Structure 1
């Protein structure tokens, strides 16, 4: 279902098929990583750096950093190159798909240029955008098929040049113009080609002359001379039709940039800065503090800005060897977040993973990140006892500064006050390895008593409990059900209900339930003999909702176990599909989708993520889809979503995709046990807030909010004279309802749009908020001042 907060703008100019990106609201926030830089270019008092799929601008006079992400309208695809036009104040962004986006600094808009992306006669593998070169308002686009021209004044395409033999498509890495001639550095042995720009027939490949043979990576005009670098690490000067070696690089050139009166050549292990006549001025290397690889370099105001794969952009003076200064926006270590946890006031993110058979290989040596006080802080790999593939995160509910993170292959990592303190494995705990050392612990969960439960794949006793207070470990065997635990079986998720039953999703043994308090048969399962389950279905994600129903995410859609309390007494328990009506036709909700995670909010609504269809937000029974977020209708950079996590106190859902992490202000919150902490905000409501009369209560950035509500309340709003202005009741007046309420309740939060029962905006004055708990009969009165 499309959300009303999104708008699409289409702009067609000349022969260019283009569209403006969506106008996203303040409900979204991007949490992208800017450690790995693809390209760096300069503008007037600014440098621009492209990370994997986001861009930032750094003002060299104010040190201010602004980010340009999917929230601002970028696609989220993989960026390959960028260019800034000072004349037009446009930032051009090229992608590996052939997409080009034009970001206008004057109005912060994004124009998507899809001509190359949609071109039928160019294979997708050849559409990679390699380089932009501007001359007289025309941008020469170097791509793996040839060269295209884009007019910045008219925002339309001109000619495309296929300059290979017989007009074939060849890879062009860079272009430059000198003395009215265009030069193209071509790869795969196609040399450097040139042509006269006065020639009106440059679409004819025969009008292009090869002036250097071999495979070339860069070509640049510097002080009226043309320089090119080839794969043999030589830099040549091109004069007419002759070439001469003027310098030799120590390794392959990744980038060449003319800027600030210098030319730089960047290699993975060094950046060279040259002056006139290619005089070597300085060279810069990674060091012990910044052990990384370089990707691109640019000079502005005698400062060198070097893109790296690990530390953002490094700044250093052209003529100095002083310490680097790292420049980058705040963000997590990597974009591909595997697991999240926001159960406390801190958001934790891990970047390991494992396969769909719970195989952790290839092992990933990565640290972790946590978001605290609106700042990302990272713990590097060398601080976590060499724990590989950090994955599931569990926070001790009785000590939220104690965190346990599963590390498939390595064991279980413990953090206290954000400091790694212990790595549990077969040598110091009750954990058992597969073979000699691989502890395949994949899922963990705390129960209500403070015991940490975990499951490890492919061992006889996969279920473990650990008491952080006493240090005691217990093991529980699955041998009564699983005869050969080493036969590629694994476990994906664990959930614990109010009866202490551990529900476990498995690779090859269906849905398992274990309750140690049941003496005769503590272990049961629902396997593929259930008629609702395909024999090859894997049980990936689990969630117990507020009605004690178990929602099950599989590799073949969504299922629900409605009777969890009677599961052990039921002789033939089964899972149910959710059947919905779509255009009057009955169909299964999320049929055939791989469900990667399920989260339950304070209204018992469900957030559901998928492997290739984005995120769904559905009502408590699944019958109505409130939101569906995809790459096409939201800032999601990818439809492949690995995990979700709810900040229930603030009504924020965190969405981890394989290309970046975002958060969405959904509103609502978990309910409280009492009304002691209920409060209203903003208070007072000042005229500049401009929320009164707003109709869509789904935009949580607007409206008067009442938070800290209990599970079943009635809330009345009256004026000071006692006249009823608005009224809402839990589970009846829902924000997610199709009914246009003025006042609605979402879990522990109510939202009022400032209108009375006659649908008119209220006047200036003090209003009373009368809260009544319908179960405990507890009451509370709040006051809010509205100023118009």
Structure 2
């Protein structure tokens, strides 16, 4: 016992010491306790420390492919499959090894039992049961500038890939040996490069749907298919855009843009009059009985059966079929990729809609969090001040699921909101239990969390001078602060609304006699309730700083007037110590500076931001800072155009740098970062969608009433780190074996401490019980827990 106390000498007078006696009495029976009585294990809705998960869009299915075991579906930016045996859905992403994002077409290759995944940018993956292999030959061909892939046709161990640059022919005879056999790029009637949207093969002739008609040639080996003069055009299609093509029973079917569906028997072409003239997305061949095709169009799905002289056309009717993009038939069972209802099938007699939980759109402008919810809003604008007219609303992540709110009514699971456009800012008012959204065109959207209802503040029902709201923030008194874009000098450019009072009398306006102040980009409020507004670089830029008493100053790049690295300020963040962190573009001498003299802002003192140094050079000096965020330990996350970086509280140490090349990130352009306070999960918004990473720091607690240790028990296959979560700031953590030998010691980052399961000699822990002793900084409070390792 003395040995143990010596190792824990700073805890002898604390709560911890009192519990050591109890634990020593338990050492003789530690193998008998029930695993059900361990401290709290990881919540099933969370991911392990250091792991990633994707948050993509799945309801808007674009293309699908079927294998004997699975049905694969690609959406706007995601990929998932339906497991036929277990009737469940699973997501596949860059976390699993996909090389890219943005899938244009899927094709299953039964001879090698692999899925061919074609991306819009020309990249290609082959997916088997146990691995994903990239086939980047076409993607890396520098001679081809536009590599957009539209369609894949498969027959007899060869695939024909339709692209903006022509047709790519790939031999896929074996699992391991894949090679490009030919690339046909000059298929125009005069040898010019033309876009090819799809291909089909009928009676040893390959037909290509192009932007200049249906072009075709023989597949006989004696024919030089690289010579454009050996390609012919179906006369009725000359110089017309052919949207899609397919074949069955010696008949070729193709869609002419704005003219309808046509059949071709090798001599003449005729319109299929039973199908309306509308946009056609795909013509799929029914390969299970080798008869008929399925037309996926703007007005629905049509099945054509019969011969050129006698067609039977049937429309597939069901309320779930709203925007079909592709349909595959297997012995009477339909699998449909629908752009509004995901994967549709009548596999169980009745039609059902299937898709994983995800965001409504890949568009995300920024994040906030409210009551453990992560809220992503999806509006936007292009500078200078042109709205994107997005009506995609916002998405809420809670308990491992997404709920989408918008006025578009495309996703059948979305909840309706008022028709407000371009949500570009948001804030949570804990005092009112409301979320406020800034709409760049339609005022302020108010979401009352208590009853899930919505209202709107605009110029018709509030003192707002107009409806161009660029940001909203809440101060620590519960006041709502509003930044308006493009006010004239006679109008208020900023407003404050008192909490729990929506009357006009609760609003106060602020205006400043400089044009630059009328074009703010975002607001940040420091611990003293001082308002910091980033100003647009197109109207001189800089930072406006003011308070409720209308004291104000403008910080610019001039020495003693702010000493900013640039007037083009791209990010502002006030940290837990009251220091304002300022981000700027890479074009200037220093991308990150700090401002800590907040008490001298309005008293006439010289005001100078300071450079931040890391390893004897200016921090991130060659990077464009897009966003700055804090984790629970006050560490700094920097989003840039070159990935995401995590630095220590004072930037003295770099912990992480994520890029597309070394992580599953979808893009190196980081639009925003939000760290979930409770779990430490870090959400990254990119132009291609949202992805998150489970960080090692959570918001600190005020006591130890809700400590969690996970995973617990630690099983043999686990290779991550153990987290002790729910701690106070900078809590001391000691881990001992059951005999009292100190194994590991650390302090928490925010509310979380971690242990990789090894001792100071880097020796992996053996099976048994390990004791966890935690105390706050002054030793007056503590916690005792246990971890079980199983070999």
Range class of TM-score, shorter chain: 0.7 to 0.9
What's the offset of the Cα at 1:619? 2.2
What's the offset of the Cα at 1:137? 0.8
Matches within 5 A, 1:554-703: 554-556=584-586, 557-569=591-603, 571-581=605-615, 587-591=617-621, 593-610=623-640, 612-683=641-712, 685-688=713-716, 690-691=718-719, 702-703=720-721
What's the offset of the Cα at 1:398? 4.0
What is the rounded CA distance, in whole Å, between the counterparts of 2:626 and 2:552 in structure 1?
A: 25
What's the offset of the Cα at 1:628? 2.1
Matches within 5 A, 1:155-554: 155-162=178-185, 163-165=187-189, 167-189=191-213, 191-199=214-222, 201-212=224-235, 213-214=237-238, 215=240, 216-231=242-257, 233-245=259-271, 247=273, 249-250=275-276, 251-259=278-286, 260-261=288-289, 262-277=292-307, 279-284=311-316, 292-315=322-345, 325-359=352-386, 361-381=387-407, 383-398=416-431, 401-417=433-449, 419-433=452-466, 439-459=467-487, 460-471=491-502, 473-479=506-512, 481-482=513-514, 489-507=518-536, 508-516=540-548, 522-530=551-559, 537-554=567-584
Q: Is the Cα–Cα contact under 8 Å of residues 411 and 425 in structure 1 kept in the other structure?
A: yes
Q: Is the Cα–Cα contact under 8 Å of residues 233 and 248 in structure 1 kept in the other structure?
A: no
What is the rounded CA distance, in whole Å, between the counterparts of 2:439 and 2:663 in structure 1?
A: 32
CA deviation profile, 1:352-374 (whole Å, cap 9, x unmatched): 11233444x24222232212221
3-state DSSP of counterpart to 1:147: strand
Q: Is the Cα–Cα contact under 8 Å of residues 202 and 208 in structure 1 kept in the other structure?
A: yes
- Tell me the equivalent position of 1:19: none
What is the rounded CA distance, in whole Å, between the counterparts of 1:546 and 1:59 in structure 2?
A: 47
3-state DSSP of counterpart to 1:669: coil
What is the rounded CA distance, in whole Å, between the counterparts of 2:568 and 2:339 in structure 1?
A: 36
- Tell me the equivalent position of 2:163: 143
Q: Is the Cα–Cα contact under 8 Å of residues 724 and 752 in structure 2 kept in the other structure?
A: yes
Q: Is the Cα–Cα contact under 8 Å of residues 325 and 339 in structure 2 kept in the other structure?
A: yes
- Tell me the equivalent position of 1:782: 785
Asked which structure has the greater RCO (Cα within 8 Å, sep 6+), the reply is 2
What's the offset of the Cα at 1:167? 4.2
What's the offset of the Cα at 1:90? 1.7
- Tell me the equivalent position of 1:93: 117
Which TM-score applies when normalising by structure 1? 0.83
What is the rounded CA distance, in whole Å, between the counterparts of 1:726 and 1:245 in structure 2?
A: 77
CA deviation profile, 1:636-666 (whole Å, cap 9, x unmatched): 2222222111102111011111111111111
- Tell me the equivalent position of 1:66: 90
What is the rounded CA distance, in whole Å, between the counterparts of 2:219 and 2:515 in structure 1?
A: 76
Question: In terms of mean alpha carbon deviation, does 80-89 or 642-651 score higher?
Answer: 80-89
Q: Is the Cα–Cα contact under 8 Å of residues 337 and 350 in structure 1 kept in the other structure?
A: yes
2:133 equivalent to 1:133: no
CA deviation profile, 1:255-282 (whole Å, cap 9, x unmatched): 1001244411122222211123263342
What is the rounded CA distance, in whole Å, between the counterparts of 2:662 and 2:317 in structure 1?
A: 43
Provide closer, same or farther for how the CA distance between residues 385 and 160 of structure 1 changes in structure 2, counting only shifts above 3 A: closer
What is the rounded CA distance, in whole Å, between the counterparts of 2:75 and 2:352 in structure 1?
A: 18
2:134 equivalent to 1:112: yes
What is the rounded CA distance, in whole Å, between the counterparts of 2:714 and 2:392 in structure 1?
A: 47
What's the offset of the Cα at 1:156? 1.4
Q: Is the Cα–Cα contact under 8 Å of residues 669 and 746 in structure 1 kept in the other structure?
A: yes
- Tell me the equivalent position of 1:50: 74
* Unaligned ranges ≥5, structure 1: 1-23, 434-438, 692-701, 730-744
Matches within 5 A, 1:722-761: 722-729=740-747, 745-761=748-764
What is the rounded CA distance, in whole Å, between the counterparts of 2:260 and 2:509 in structure 1?
A: 65
What's the offset of the Cα at 1:334? 0.4
Q: How many correspondences in the alignment? A: 710
Q: Is the Cα–Cα contact under 8 Å of residues 556 and 567 in structure 2 kept in the other structure?
A: no
3-state DSSP of counterpart to 1:392: strand
CA deviation profile, 1:397-455 (whole Å, cap 9, x unmatched): 346x532222222121221237233111123333221xxxxx22222222222222222
- Tell me the equivalent position of 1:81: 105
What's the offset of the Cα at 1:625? 3.2
CA deviation profile, 1:70-100 (whole Å, cap 9, x unmatched): 2223344433222111222222222332222
3-state DSSP of counterpart to 1:641: coil
3-state DSSP of counterpart to 1:498: coil
What's the offset of the Cα at 1:245? 4.6
3-state DSSP of counterpart to 2:280: coil
Q: Is the Cα–Cα contact under 8 Å of residues 194 and 210 in structure 1 kept in the other structure?
A: no
What's the offset of the Cα at 1:31? 0.6
Q: Is the Cα–Cα contact under 8 Å of residues 270 and 286 in structure 1 kept in the other structure?
A: no
3-state DSSP of counterpart to 2:307: helix
What is the rounded CA distance, in whole Å, between the counterparts of 2:516 and 2:737 in structure 1?
A: 70
